[in-house]
């Protein structure tokens, strides 16, 4: 058995996650990218195509991290990796501040400068990006991306696969549904239903929710 990690994805997010994993003392053996990916991601060799996951597993690799920003693709590839009997690891910066009472899922990324406060729950495959703050008792769903410098006050709920763009602010107690997008800089002061896109200050839903 080989304890080195396979990173799935080979773009900008993978670069950040490789460095996070290394900062935790882990080694990354290969990235697996979509066909046509560059040969290397940072200095890590890139294999093209998801059929490489089975081959690598046969060679003894069993730990993986899915480093793709798209919430849908990240979730799909995580399920594929788990189906192939990989264990998903976390990539957590030593420069993040995480409460001992926070509950962390698997396959999550927490970047430098992020803060996760008391009794917060971070769902599987979530990204808490650079400098984002998640305050007490927040519930962050599976496959959510909280982009850099977002600030979530206490008791905020964010449904699965939602995306809060860079610099969003959410006041306490707000409920954001599944599959929601909040545009960068949005200030959320009222609840947002599922699959909506909201933008602005204060954030307002635009268009019809995507069916
Ligand atoms: O906002 C920040 C700080 N980071 C963003 C990050 C969270 O998301 C970043 O700016 C980008 O917006 C995005 O980064 P990501 O996901 O690395 O995007 P990109 O550089 O476009 O790379 C996408 C990667 O996904 C490429 O390496 C593709 O090969 C890979 N990919 C896409 N589909 C896939 C598949 N890889 C595999 N193995 N299988 C697929 O089906």
* Residue 98 in contact with ligand 1 by CB distance below 6 A: no
Q: How far apart are CA 98 and CA 108, in angstroms?
A: 13
pLDDT in the model for residue 209: 64
Mutate to test the pocket of ligand 1, among 19, 28, 69, 109 (most ligand atoms within 8 A of CB): 69
Cα–chain-centroid distance for residue 40? 22
Are 84 and 96 in contact by the 8 Å Cβ rule? The answer is no
Which tokens go with 110? Answer: 């927490």
Cα–chain-centroid distance for residue 105? 11
Give tens-digit pLDDT for 156-188: 999 999 999 999 999 999 999 999 999 999 999
Give tens-digit pLDDT for 37-67: 999 999 999 999 999 999 999 999 999 999 9
Please name which of 88, 93, 152, 150 lies closest in space to residue 125, comparing C-alpha atoms: 88
Which tokens go with 63? Answer: 């730990």
* Residue 73 in contact with ligand 1 by CB distance below 6 A: yes
**95-206: what CATH class?**
mainly beta
* Residue 129 in contact with ligand 1 by CB distance below 6 A: yes
Q: Which atom of ligand 1 is nearest to the CA of 70?
A: 16
Q: How far apart are CA 3 and CA 133, in angstroms?
A: 31
Give tens-digit pLDDT for 10-46: 999 999 999 999 999 999 999 999 999 999 999 999 9
Q: At a CB cut-off of 8 Å and minimum separation 6, what does 176 contact?
A: 156, 157, 158, 159, 162, 164, 170, 182, 188, 191, 192
CATH architecture label of 2-89? 3-Layer(aba) Sandwich (3.40)
Distance from the alpha carbon of residue 123 to the mean position of ligand 1, in angstroms: 20
* Residue 41 in contact with ligand 1 by CB distance below 6 A: no
Please name which of 83, 5, 67 lies closest in space to residue 34, comparing C-alpha atoms: 67
CATH 3.40.50.20 domain span(s) along the chain: 2-89
CATH 2.160.10.10 domain span(s) along the chain: 95-206
For the entire predicted model, the pTM comes to 0.97
């Amino acid at each position: 058995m080989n304890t080195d990690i396979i990173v799935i994805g080979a773009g900008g997010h993978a670069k950040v996650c490789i460095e996070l994993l290394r900062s935790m003392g882990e080694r990354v053996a290969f990235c697996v990218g979509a066909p046509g990916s560059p040969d290397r991601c940072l200095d890590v060799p890139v294999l093209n195509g998801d059929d490489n996951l089975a081959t690598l597993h046969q060679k003894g690799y069993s730990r993986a991290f899915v480093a793709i920003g798209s919430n849908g693709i990240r979730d799909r590839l995580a399920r594929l990796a788990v189906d192939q009997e990989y264990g998903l690891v976390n990539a957590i910066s030593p420069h993040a501040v995480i409460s001992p009472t926070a509950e962390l899922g698997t396959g999550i990324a927490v970047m430098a400068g992020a803060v996760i406060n008391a009794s917060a729950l971070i769902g599987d495959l979530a990204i808490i990006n650079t400098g984002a703050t998640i305050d007490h008792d927040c519930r962050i769903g599976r496959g959510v991306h909280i982009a850099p410098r977002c600030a979530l006050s206490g008791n905020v709920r964010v449904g699965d696969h939602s995306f809060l763009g860079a610099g969003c602010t959410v006041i306490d107690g707000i409920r954001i549904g599944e599959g929601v997008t909040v545009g960068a800089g949005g200030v959320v002061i009222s609840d947002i239903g599922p699959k909506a896109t909201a933008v602005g200050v204060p954030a307002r839903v635009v268009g019809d929710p995507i069916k």
